[in-house]
Amino acid sequence: MLPADNHVHSRWSWDTAESSTMERECRAAIERGIPAVAFTEHVDFTDWSPGDRGSALSVGDRPGVAPLDLAGYSADIAQCRSMFPELRILSGIEAGEPHYFPASVAALLGAGTFERVLGSLHAIPWQGRLEWVNAELFSRLEPHDLMDRYFTDMVTLVQGCDVFTVLAHCDYPRRYWPAERSGAYPERDFEEHYRTVFRALASSGRALEINTRSPLASVDLIRWWWEEGGDAVSFGSDAHAPERVGDQFEVAVAIVEAAGFGRGRDRFDFWRR
């Protein structure tokens, strides 16, 4: 049996409203043999609340970003749990830049019940603004410089925020790496950056995600996590459509096993060293 998919988005995520529903993704998980899904909806912010830490920065343009409809999301979770008793369905969020928005994230966490909280970094400071990491930002920054900035901020996220249990897509910018002008993404060039992030994460006892929407991590990268004391790996498709639930999990399982991790306490658990 394949592992649980701990990173799935439904229509309650601001960027998934038109592409999926919880019901369709639950059906897809059952068809794929996935034992559990966590609906970790995007939680991103367009402005600072009192108590947030990033107010010295302006928040860059974030078209389409909207608050999570907690009441609608919670009702949908309850309905799907009733419809699909054979599937374990976890509630959750993917908190974007939670080290900059601690008060905003805390307010949402205090208003609901979330069983899986992912920490993610989709934006970094540049020229006084918190800017999305994407192809446009790669066109404005030298690629190695952008990655240096990203990993440096990732360490700050891990060390300065304790609300999440899984670190999502630890090298998110590689999705946008400009291979046409810079060649293939040089994973080994950033080995020490990865190891620094992994040491901080391992010391906190949290899990590292292998994200199958991003270009897949190598066995070497997951072994760096093992060597730095990492105890747990979480599998996440980052699905924004039903057909992507559990996508490439067979390959991801092979990578994780080759790096020294195996099945956890039960079929719903993280994989362990």
Residue type, 172: Y
Q: What local confidence, expressed as pLDDT, does residue 121 receive?
A: 98
Looking at residue 129, what DSSP letter applies? E
pLDDT single digits (tens) 45-72: 999 999 999 888 999 789 999 999 999 9
Instruction: Quote the number of domains for the chain.
Output: 1
What is the C-alpha separation between 67 and 165, in angstroms, rounded?
22
What is the C-alpha separation between 201 and 186, in angstroms, rounded?
22
Residue 132 falls in which region: left (phi positive, over 0), alpha (psi -120 to 50) or beta: beta
Domain at 233, CATH number: 3.20.20.140
* Residue-by-residue DSSP string for 51-101: T-S-TTSEEPP-TT-----HHHHHHHHHHHHHH-TTSEEEEEEEEESTTT-
Q: Supply the pTM of this predicted model.
A: 0.97
pLDDT single digits (tens) 80-92: 999 999 999 999 9
Closest to 108 in 3D by CA, of 87, 123, 90, 94:
94
Neighbouring CB atoms inside 10 A of 89's CB total 23
CB-side exposure of 140: number of CA atoms within 13 Å? Answer: 9
What is the C-alpha separation between 231 and 174, in angstroms, rounded?
24
Query: Helix 191-203 crosses helix 219-227 at what angle (to 10 degrees)?
Result: 50
Q: What local confidence, expressed as pLDDT, does residue 250 receive?
A: 98
Q: Tokens in use for 102?
A: 């601690």
Q: b/e for 237-261, b at 16 or more Cβ within 10 A?
A: bbbbbbebbbbbbeebbebbeebbb
pLDDT single digits (tens) 8-57: 999 999 999 999 999 999 999 999 999 999 999 999 999 999 999 988 89
Report phi then psi at 106, rounded to 5: -60, -40
State which residues form the domain around 83. 5-272
Closest to 202 in 3D by CA, of 229, 224, 223:
229
pLDDT single digits (tens) 140-167: 999 999 999 999 999 999 999 999 999 9
